[in-house]
Structure 1
Amino acid sequence: MSQIKPIPTPTDITADWLAQHLGWNVSGVSAKAVGTGQVGATYRFSLTDPDPDAAQKASLIGKFMSEDPVSRATGIAQLSYVREVKFYQNYGNTKPLPIPTARYAVVDEATHDFALLMDDFPSHRPGNQLTPATLEEAKLAMGAAASIHAAWWGDKGLDTHAWLNGSQAASGMNVDGLFEMLWPAFCARYGDQINDQIRATGEAYLGRINDWITQRPGPRCLTHGDFRPDNMLFLEGDPAHPIVIVDWQTAGVGNGATDIAYYLGTALTPEMRRTHEMSLINLWIDHLEKAGVPQADTQNLWDIYRRDALAGFLMGVLASMIVAQTPRGDAMFLAMCARAAAMVSDHRSFELI
């Protein structure tokens, strides 16, 4: 059994630590909490006097266990911390992807304590779930998704990892039981903020979610699982990295159309989605085919997209009940549910189970 590397806390990331563990020579390090994540704690480490002749950055992003006990317990129970580190160890740095390069990734699978240090993109602007995505952002998201999905399209090795969501090697979860337990609490918490479409969608899927999960067709590929604006960074003028996809705590294996349904159903207003979804899905498929995905594998992706309109709604309900409650989180989860419920209604998704 390999020795687990020491797992640093944010205060451990000093100039001496960087010299010892990364071989980087800097004169100082300052840390500042950043981001809006509710399951992990994220910091920006600004580095003083990095070596201009080496592959050193002026800053790094570090992720650690949440300091909130509720969110930390959720991260442990859902394998979120283990999953993200293992994604970077097994996949993240192995092919060109629109993601940060991980410089240090270690996890203790017994305690789930972890540390992840990645390249920072300080000039990029973060996406915002509360502000509908622009058409340009949506186009960039389609290209990024295609590059991720195509990289391991049809790779049977994905299903050998028990830590990947949806893997055939993973233990099945009774999502129906979880939803039936949390749906009444969701309704009680948000009361009259829940519109008729949200309520009708939740009621329609009671007792049917396990069927929806088990009936998902292939072909299978690596999926992000939480593909939405809060997990994206943008700088349209950057030719190398116009978009960067972060937060791989929900990485999984499944059909890439689920990521697309999740994004278009939660990131765009219903009106914008109705206007642009066909052209955006076709753009995603064009990128897949240019990346080598056979045309035979792209023929039924529209129907899978329609069927998986539930994805964003399900995340909005379940996540809101199992992480620390915040005003921004409440607004975000309600927006996700409202937009996704409209998509479910538009496409009569329930009938496709």
Structure 2
Amino acid sequence: MVTEPSFSVVLFNLWVWMQTVILFGYSKSKAYLRSFFFPSEDPSNTEWIQSVLRNKFTHLPPIVDIHESSQALNGGGLVGLLYSVELAYGKRDSSAGYPRSIVVKQGKGHFQARLYARYSGSAREAIFYQTLVPKHGILLSCVPEIYYSRGDLRSGECIIVMEDLKDEVVPSGHLLGNQCWGEVPIPIELEMVSQDEVLRTIFMKMADIHVHFWRSRTLLMHDWLKGVSWRKGVGKLSWEVAMCNMRNRWSRLRDKSVFTPLLRDTIDGLLERTSWSRWQKLNDITSPDTPFTLVHGDFHANNILFRIENREPRTVFVDWSEVGIGCPFTELAQFMISNATIEFRRAHERDLWKVSWKIIHLQFQSVFTQFICIL
């Protein structure tokens, strides 16, 4: 049975809807007025793209033509667009070394998409590229190069301009046998890479990120990160709205024949026992026993691009719209469940967890040694 929302949840939804109407009209009017004085944030505007890229490439030749690539990109989702834009320069002889194409990710312009973007907080990906990535080399090494990024959680606006890696990378899901799009071409340098190597490379890279931000109090200063306000005891009503949506979605799915009775009973029990007070107790960040760190939030194989660089495997993590703080072990466990075969997990996951725990232990030793030296 579908859960009936409480009166406070209904009021919350109405308040978000009214705010979105106001902010939607304001942002549209602001963009229109601003366009009289500055190049608009329009990926088809050569003047704007020129100014964006010149922040990175000082001597960029004049761009004379821009058009959307005919090669489709998977992604975008309910609220966003993801596409490649090809660039043509006026001086062909001096354009070597400059991008021939870029990837643009932006929110859809209609009201319904903006409303959903406000509920989901999808603009946090742009804020993540603006604020956290430039300050941490470990993040810079595993995300695409970002030429421009702007996001606003209040209005749901989001636009990101990044490097185009389509000729250099393969989604890890393709290497791991996820062929839901049919057969896909694999570059010859990746044909000999085993699934074991792909999984190990991804697992250990994310473990490094988890260790770098392990119980970092500075993460709690970024309220735009998913889960931060809840773990600080703020936002009970928004949490209840999220749980109400979760229960309603499950009620529409639970009677499908693909679910076993045991799975249905387990999920029913979990949702029944879940409450704000219980969630707060389990996620008490003031307790030294509560693990938390920076997590990707949507850590599945097709959000992880794989390539060989200088004969070494390299991963590029994309789609950080769910980035937040959370339990690192849950994220890695979910990745293994979703992407590794049962045989691989039985043979290797214990060793992977031991190695990742060793990294955490060594990090603790390093921090403790520095602390003793300061004293």
TM-score by length of 1: 0.70
| Shift in CA distance, 171/13, structure 1 to aligned 2, threshold 3 Å | farther
**Inter-partner Cα distance in structure 1 for 2:262 and 2:340:** 17
1:197 Cα deviation after fit: 5.0
Residue of 22, 42, 46 corresponding to 2:53? 22
Closer/same/farther in 2, CA of residues 197 and 159 from structure 1, 3 Å limit:
same
CA-CA distance at 1:148 after TM superposition: 1.9
Q: SS in structure 2 opposite 1:192?
A: coil
> 1-side partners of 2:111 and 2:259: how far apart?
28
SS of 2:173's equivalent in the other structure is coil
- The answer to whether structure 1 residue 160 and structure 2 residue 221 are counterparts is yes
The alpha carbon displacement at 1:158 in A equals 0.7
Deviations 1:231-289 (A, max 9, x none): 10011455576110011111111232122122112222344323322122223334445
The equivalent residue for 1:13 is 44
Distance 1:209 1:224, change over 3 A: farther
Aligned to 2:106: 64
Cα distance between partner residues in 2 of 1:137 and 1:241:
8
Structure 2 residues not aligned, in runs of 5+: 1-29, 55-59, 179-193, 284-288, 369-375
Contact 1:149 1:222 in 2 (8 A): yes
Letter in 1 for 2:164: D
Alignment-derived partner of residue 171 in structure 1? 235
- Letter paired with 2:245: L
Residue 94 (structure 1) aligns with: 135
Give the Cα–Cα distance (whole angstroms) in 1 for the partners of residues 105 and 64 of structure 2: 22
Aligned to 1:57, the other structure's residue is in SS state coil
SS in 2 for 1:138: helix
| Cα distance change, pair 139–246 in 1 and its aligned pair in 2 (3 A) | same
**Is the radius of gyration larger for structure 1 or structure 2?**
2
Whether 1:34 aligns to 2:73 is yes
**How big is the alpha-carbon RMSD for the aligned residues of Structure 1 and Structure 2?**
3.4
Structure 2: distance between partners of 1:71 and 1:198: 33
Correspondence for 2:327 among 251, 255, 260: 255
Q: 1:213, 1:178 → 2: CA distance? A: 19
| Aligned-residue offset at 1:177 | 3.0
Instruction: Report SS of the residue matched to 2:349.
Output: helix
The Cα shift of 1:105 comes to 0.7
How far the C-alpha of 1:137 sits from its partner, in A, is 1.8
> Structure 2 matches for 1:112-131, cutoff 5 A?
112-122=156-166, 123-128=168-173, 131=177
Tell me what 1:47 maps to: 87
| Paired residue type of 1:79 | G
Residues 1:79 and 2:124 are matched in the alignment? no
Per-residue deviation at 1:113? 1.5
For these two proteins, the number of residue pairs brought into alignment is 289
Distance 1:255 1:193, change over 3 A: closer
User: Is the 2:299–2:335 Cα contact (8 Å) retained in structure 1?
Assistant: yes
Query: What amino acid does structure 1 have at the position aligned with 2:68?
Result: A
Instruction: Kindly indicate whether the alpha-carbon contact (under 8 Å) linking 1:138 and 1:280 is maintained by their aligned counterparts in 2.
Output: no
Give the Cα–Cα distance (whole angstroms) in 2 for the partners of residues 148 and 213 of structure 1: 25
Matching of residues 178-197 of structure 1 within 5 Å: 178-187=245-254, 191-196=256-261
User: Cα distance 1:200–1:270, how it changes in 2: closer, same or farther (>3 A)?
Assistant: farther
Q: Measure, in 2, the Cα distance between the counterparts of 1:42 and 1:176.
A: 29
**Equivalent residues of 2:295, 2:326 under 8 A apart:** yes
Structure 2 residue matching 1:75: 3-state secondary structure: helix
Q: Give the match's secondary structure for 1:199.
A: helix
Instruction: Call closer, same or farther: CA 1:73–1:60 in 2, change over 3 Å.
Output: same
| Residues 226, 72 of structure 1: alpha-carbon distance in 2 compared, 3 angstrom cutoff | same
Report SS of the residue matched to 1:34: coil
Give, as a single letter, the amino acid of the residue that structure 2 aligns with 1:139.
R
With over 3 angstroms needed to count, the CA separation of the structure-2 counterparts of 1:230 and 1:108, relative to structure 1, is same
Structure 2 vs 1, CA of residues 110 and 180 (structure 1 numbering), >3 Å: closer, same or farther? closer
Find the counterpart in structure 2 of residue 307 from structure 1.
none
List aligned pairs for 1:333-352, cutoff 5 A.
none
- Cα gap change, 1:226/1:200 in structure 2, threshold over 3 Å: closer, same or farther? same
In the alignment, which of 183, 194, 198 is matched to residue 137 of structure 1?
A: 198
SS at match of 1:163: coil
User: What's the offset of the Cα at 1:13?
Assistant: 3.4
Distance in 2 of aligned mates of 1:237 and 1:71: 38
Judge conservation of contact 2:114–2:157 (CA < 8 Å) in 1. Answer: no
1:314 equivalent in structure 2: none
Secondary structure class of the residue paired with 1:36: coil
SS of 1:60's partner is strand
SS in 2 for 1:225: coil
CA contact (8 A) 2:118 2:153 kept: no
Q: Give the alignment partner of residue 346 of structure 2, picking from 248, 252, 274.
A: 274
Please name the residue that 1:327 is paired with.
none
Deviation at 1:124, TM superposition (A): 0.2
Q: 1:136 to 1:71 in 2, by over 3 A?
A: farther
